[in-house]
Structure 1
Amino acid sequence: MTQVLRADFEPAPESVPLARRAVLRTLVGRGLDQVADTTCLLTSELVTNAVQHAAQSLDVLVTVDDTRVRVEVHDDGKRTPPPLTEAPQELGS
């Protein structure tokens, strides 16, 4: 996978639309318009969550290859999510 975007944001609500626009520009610039809307929606959800839990910073990383787009959002929050007690269900089951 090739990294196409790495951006740092403040953990503040105004970072959500900024991150979404950065991802949109990146995807459209690479001709990935067909996945841009869904990817931007998911980015908004991830960044909103990170804003709630980050202490001082959050990072957005976008990587792509021939068949996939991957968006990662990292924050410096210290809270660890509880472990899963059951395996996640397959989508559509």
Structure 2
Amino acid sequence: SGGFRNFHAREVDDKGLITIADSYHKLEYLNITYRTEITEHSICGIIRSSPKLRHLDISFCKITDKIIEEIASKFLNLKYLNLEG
């Protein structure tokens, strides 16, 4: 477990994202664009549990100040970030 590194979510919901956050700590690529039903809680959870993340695309999701703060404090090695929308 924990070897999963890339995830592109077209059908994931909050529960699925929390499961990914709890299980895959080596995640380097996450794309959850247009998933407006995903909450701040699950996005912050995956941010906290994925210190190796290099690519994060959460465009057209519900981005909050708390999510921005989590990204700024956790992802010093982030190479790509998309917050469009």
Question: What is the TM-score normalised by the length of structure 2?
Answer: 0.30
Larger RCO (CA under 8 A, 6+ residues apart): 1
Question: What is the TM-score normalised by the length of structure 1?
Answer: 0.29
Query: Where is the strand percentage greater, Structure 1 or Structure 2?
Result: 1
Q: Whose Rg is larger?
A: 1
